[in-house]
Structure 1
Amino acid sequence: MPRVFIPGPIAVGTPLALPDDKRHHLATVLRKRIGDALVVFNGDGFEYTATLSRVDRKQAEAAIHAQEAPRRESPVAITLIQAIARGDRMDFALAKAVELGVTRIEPVFSERGQVKLAGERLAKKTEHWQRVVESAAEQSARLICPMLAEPRALAERITRPIDADIGLMLAPTAQTGLAGIPRRASAALLIGPESGLSDREIEQAAAAGWQGVRLGPRVLRTETAGMAALAALQSLWGDLAG
């Protein structure tokens, strides 16, 4: 059954107009017709069972039948601060982060990062990343769609409050592993670019209260490091262990 994210109010008994991109996907790609079932959600912590009540080349509308509250969100709130990676690597990192239960994603430009974006190119790329996040939330049966923050420089982000119980940055020279960190209700996780965080960035982050952690003895790609760290955190503090 298709799941559709709608960033707006949803109410049982009130017809819901679907955005054009969702209409196109349901009608043209999935070939759904009037009476077909779907699930819609808007990030309020619920999902809504529905059926298509209208679908054509111009409009689509869903009848909302019931509100449900399955327990699928992790008890630990994780913000991923991901250094922007090239091409499909960034898409992969974002999608897997959503599947692994993050609540917020902050793309950042780092000193050693190889991606240079600004102006219209940055705006288009951010819109693309938002679609990646929404699609992953739909596919993974999330009840929320993680917030995607506007990209900014890592140096600027470090000067701001961590906004979590603990700030963790992956650093291969760190002496502590994730298993050695006491459990927290929330965490911010900083992942560097393909060539890693610079010494200056590590020093600045440490001075701002971020704690370095290592993730095993091997060197991981940036898109793998975030996925592995999130899986470990969800196993230790969240709901991935069952």
Structure 2
Amino acid sequence: MTAPLFLLDAGALAGVAPGAEVAFTGAEARHAAASMRLGAGESVLVADGSGARASCVVVDAAPSAVTVRVESLEHDAAPRPALVLVQALAKGDRDLMAVQASTELGVDAVVPWEAERSIVRWKGAKAAKAHQKWEDTVRAAAKQARRARVPEVRPVVSGTAVAALAGPDRLLLVLHEDADLGLGGLPDADLEAAAEVALVVGPEGGVSPAELDACTAAGAVPVRLGPHVLRASTAGPAALAVLQHRLGRW
């Protein structure tokens, strides 16, 4: 079984070499020592969330602080193209389900989208709390998947402003049941030329005509996943799986 992973502060592994000892505190230490009851001699992984991951052995474990000795280090380079999930806000935590699964499947960033047909709305103080919930979900899923990189949760976008995510080196793909082009039929050259590939997933009521028009006018490509209509919680992860295979990562 793969050793459990604990996330350190960004940059915490910079300059660290095999043989060095690293300590972590707070929630990660309590999880390791109190919840998992890890003790001296057990193997763990630690990562700084930005690509560095170390295989370690526990030297001392207490709920207040855990000290580990670094056995080896590796660094996961930032992939190109980066894969981004633009997930419409959805009721019943279906948006969070999509974000969690997408993180486990290797997404590099997520963008909350308050689409025209989204029932859920982020307003006032609720917006900051909801954004934090997405960040917590991403962090927990990255730990579960033993990822060295924690996906970025970008600022929320609203309505037709989602079209601004398209650009010269950013390929914006809008998942739409009426699209003529299947995701599997997207030319390899289009994927290889992009620095970033973003998947736009609509809410329960779908992407509005105005949003679709704005996206296509900005250069986005409507694509479909197949003959079935998927929930807001499953469309994004399913599309990411296809792209990971297309890019040769799986």
Same fold per TM (> 0.5)?
Answer: yes
- Cα distance in 1 for partners of 2:210, 2:68 equals 53
- Cα distance in 2 for partners of 1:141, 1:56 equals 22
- Cα distance in 1 for partners of 2:25, 2:92 equals 27
Residue of structure 1 equivalent to 2:244: 234
- Cα distance in 1 for partners of 2:111, 2:9 equals 19
- TM-score normalised by L of structure 1: 0.89
- Cα distance in 2 for partners of 1:61, 1:121 equals 37
RMSD: 2.2
Q: Secondary structure in 1 aligned to 2:91?
A: coil
**Cα distance change on mapping 1:213 and 1:125 into 2, 3 Å:** same
Q: 2:61 aligns with which of 40, 55, 60?
A: 55
Gaps of 5+ in 1: none
Are positions 1:36 and 2:36 aligned together?
no
Offset, 1:202: 0.6
**Cα distance change on mapping 1:230 and 1:87 into 2, 3 Å:** same
CA contact 1:74–1:239 (8 Å) conserved in 2: no
Residue of structure 2 equivalent to 1:150: 155
The CA deviation string for residues 194-238 of structure 1, in whole angstroms up to 9 with x for no partner, is 111111111111111111011111111011111111111112223
- Cα distance in 2 for partners of 1:79, 1:101 equals 10
Percent identity (aligned): 31
- Cα distance in 2 for partners of 1:128, 1:220 equals 24
Q: Secondary structure in 2 aligned to 1:223?
A: coil
**Cα distance change on mapping 1:225 and 1:39 into 2, 3 Å:** same
The CA deviation string for residues 80-124 of structure 1, in whole angstroms up to 9 with x for no partner, is 111112243122101111122111111110010011222332222
Q: What letter corresponds to residue 83 of structure 2 in structure 1?
A: I
Q: 1:108 aligns with which of 113, 116, 122?
A: 113
- Cα distance in 2 for partners of 1:44, 1:55 equals 25
Offset, 1:51: 2.5
CA contact 1:74–1:101 (8 Å) conserved in 2: no
- TM-score normalised by L of structure 2: 0.86
Residue range with higher mean Cα deviation, 199-208 or 79-88: 79-88
Q: Secondary structure in 1 aligned to 2:234?
A: helix
Residue of structure 1 equivalent to 2:28: 22
- Cα distance in 2 for partners of 1:206, 1:6 equals 41
